[in-house]
Structure 1
Amino acid sequence: MDDGEVSVHHTVGFALAKPAEVLGAEPYMHELVAGIERVLVPRGGSLLLRIVPTAAEVAATIRRWAEGGLVDAVVLIDLVPHDPIVDLVRDLAIPAVVSGDPETAGGLTTVWSQDDLAMETAVEAMLELGHTRIAHLTGPAHMAHTRLRMSAFERLAGRGDAATSIHEGDYTERSGREITLELLRGEHPPTAVIADNDLMAIGALAAAAELEVSVPSQLSILAWDDSPLCQLSEPPLSAMSHDVQTIGELIAIAVLDAEAGRASESIRAPRAEFVARGSTTAPPVTEASASVLGKIQT
């Protein structure tokens, strides 16, 4: 679509199943919405945002919007494998764009942040520092993007012969803190933690402080989205830096194209980059860590 083109007024629906605790505190969704509106508003569009408790209520909301003619298109996010909402929007004949991987989208247009490649970069960064015990704090494991991250985590960490563990959270700071407390009290605590969002990384940082575990000399922590929370923490959190507002802009452009009847496509958002700050460093060198580092370097 031409950047100078102005469309008639249209409304894009965006229904989210998110705990209020997460939505209120997590910057990611605010940045995503800002990016979407940056494209829609100058073109006479608006975003209808609805927060509901469950995925079933997301589907019910979209059905109500479509049958009432309240929206011209919808944005779908946090899909699960073989998600029935894909068939729903097809049955309703409403244009839709998925923020997620193409395999889950069932042929709908997607804007994909390449979570698997981002996780590969994250694990490689920890392995290159010499970490041999790495924990992954995930979001809800039923979500497709969580499964992709988990698979990439296991594959890359296994290549370096690191001891790994995966622990399901719910994107809240509380879950990051509770999981990390349990890990640090274990017989073989991790030397590095990769968290699936910034709130859980902040929770991991709080757990380390509570147990007087030094970050980063005893525990490295890597966050995911690189929101301002990462730079304001103490120490500042290393992160996989995503350009979230650009992702939102790409979603909005894709929605406008879908409304115009253009063929579906898979759009790749800029790949996340590892940004090193004060929360990651090499662990104390042991025979095991030296062996893993040698394998990565060769």
Structure 2
Amino acid sequence: MTQAQRRVGLVLARASRVLGEEPYYHEFLEGLERVLTPAGVSVLVTVVTDREAESAVYERWAAEGRVDGVVLVDLAPDDSRVELIDRLGLPAVVLGAPSTASGLPTVWTDDAGWAQEAVRFLADRGHTVIAHISGPHTFAHTQLRQSGADAEASERGLTLVRSEGDYSYESGRLATAELLPRSPTAIVCDNDLMALAALDELRDRGLSVPTDVSVVAWDDSALCQLATPPLSAMSHDVGRIGELAGGALLDALAGKPPTVYEAPAAHIVARASTS
């Protein structure tokens, strides 16, 4: 490819309905393209059903020379995709914890620290039984969030109960229904869609937010601000994370040594869904 035709790839192993509804990757791609487009680099996005299909895409892209580099997301500890990308000779940037990257450039978000802040926020408001609706347990960032929440809950003597979702609205409703018999007075959801689902499930069960149960979302999108009641959220600049990933990709394409690029700190935005 010539300089003007360079292309990087992003493979998302998510249900298409989730990607269509969830704002996160739309905002991330906007930030990514703000940096890459002026440099003459386009972004090729492919959605697949599972990790095996994702690996097959990388194999095909490398064989056909379709992309000059890739962004890796949703990594697990000791993720085989890192070794695969190295074997294929594709420059890559990891969006996640440096521990998953095995020497690749990384855009790092402090998931453990942010989870601690979310639990601290609720503990300071008198909550002693807190539910956490997480993303898939295999993801490193889910494990980091759980460890951070556990550390803060242990330090404060709180009870933390959990259910696993897949970031979809449907999984948020199911997880909320599963957790309610354990009598949480607050629920932290790992994305905005699951938090909206929690609001609806609580409402359908005759429970008031925040009088009976408080709800906190991860990712402070417009969905959080327009919810009824508006959702308190762990807010971070997803567009800026995309920009950092774009800069990291340009450095990787230029052969620069791998670096950890730290995303701006997240913070809680308090709204009417918490008391």
Give me the TM-score of the superposition, normalised by structure 1: 0.90
User: Structure 1 residue 163 and structure 2 residue 159: aligned?
Assistant: yes
1:287-298 correspondence to structure 2 within 5 Å: none
Of 182, 196, 207, 1:213 maps to: 207
> Contact 1:150 / 1:166 at 8 angstroms: preserved in 2?
no
User: Structure 1 residue 225 and structure 2 residue 219: aligned?
Assistant: yes
Q: Which residue of 2 aligns with 1:243?
A: 237
Q: CA deviation at 1:163?
A: 1.2
C-alpha distance in structure 2 between counterparts of 1:183 and 1:79, whole Å? 27
Q: Which residue of 2 aligns with 1:40?
A: 36
Q: Give the SS at the match of 1:67.
A: helix
C-alpha distance in structure 1 between counterparts of 2:238 and 2:89, whole Å? 29
User: Structure 1 residue 68 and structure 2 residue 64: aligned?
Assistant: yes
Of 103, 119, 123, 2:119 maps to: 123
Q: CA deviation at 1:216?
A: 0.4
User: Structure 1 residue 11 and structure 2 residue 4: aligned?
Assistant: no
C-alpha distance in structure 2 between counterparts of 1:109 and 1:55, whole Å? 21
Q: Which residue of 1 aligns with 2:104?
A: 108
Cα deviation code 1:156-200 (max 9, x no counterpart): 11111111111111111111111112322x1x4100000000011
C-alpha distance in structure 1 between counterparts of 2:176 and 2:48, whole Å? 29
Q: Give the SS at the match of 1:107.
A: coil
Of 261, 267, 270, 1:273 maps to: 267
The residue type paired with residue 38 of structure 1 is R
Q: Which residue of 2 aligns with 1:294?
A: none
User: Structure 1 residue 253 and structure 2 residue 250: aligned?
Assistant: no
Q: Which residue of 2 aligns with 1:21?
A: 17
Q: Give the SS at the match of 1:193.
A: strand
> Contact 2:161 / 2:179 at 8 angstroms: preserved in 1?
no
Q: Which residue of 1 aligns with 2:183?
A: 189
C-alpha distance in structure 1 between counterparts of 2:197 and 2:54, whole Å? 28
The residue type paired with residue 139 of structure 2 is M
Q: Which residue of 2 aligns with 1:201?
A: 195
Say what the alpha-carbon RMSD is for the aligned residues: 0.9
C-alpha distance in structure 2 between counterparts of 1:241 and 1:203, whole Å? 19
C-alpha distance in structure 2 between counterparts of 1:138 and 1:44, whole Å? 37
- Return structure 1 stretches of 4+ with deviation > 4 angstroms: none
Give me the TM-score of the superposition, normalised by structure 2: 0.97
C-alpha distance in structure 2 between counterparts of 1:130 and 1:159, whole Å? 15
Q: CA deviation at 1:114?
A: 1.1
C-alpha distance in structure 2 between counterparts of 1:171 and 1:189, whole Å? 23
Of 75, 78, 81, 1:79 maps to: 75
C-alpha distance in structure 2 between counterparts of 1:244 and 1:231, whole Å? 16
The residue type paired with residue 198 of structure 1 is D
C-alpha distance in structure 2 between counterparts of 1:199 and 1:39, whole Å? 28
Q: Give the SS at the match of 1:48.
A: strand
Cα deviation code 1:32-90 (max 9, x no counterpart): 11111111111111000000101111111011111111100100000111011100111
Deviates more, 1:216-225 or 1:8-17: 8-17
Computing the radius of gyration from Cα coordinates, the structure with the larger value is 1
C-alpha distance in structure 2 between counterparts of 1:120 and 1:34, whole Å? 29
The residue type paired with residue 262 of structure 2 is R
Q: Which residue of 1 aligns with 2:26?
A: 30
Q: CA deviation at 1:28?
A: 0.3
Q: CA deviation at 1:253?
A: 0.5
Q: Give the SS at the match of 2:142.
A: helix
The residue type paired with residue 67 of structure 1 is A
Q: Which runs of 5+ in 2 are unaligned?
A: none
Q: Report the number of matched residues.
A: 273
Q: Which runs of 5+ in 1 are unaligned?
A: 1-6, 282-298
User: Structure 1 residue 264 and structure 2 residue 236: aligned?
Assistant: no
C-alpha distance in structure 2 between counterparts of 1:70 and 1:183, whole Å? 45
> Contact 2:162 / 2:179 at 8 angstroms: preserved in 1?
no
Q: Give the SS at the match of 1:76.
A: strand
Q: Give the SS at the match of 1:51.
A: strand
Q: Give the SS at the match of 1:221.
A: strand
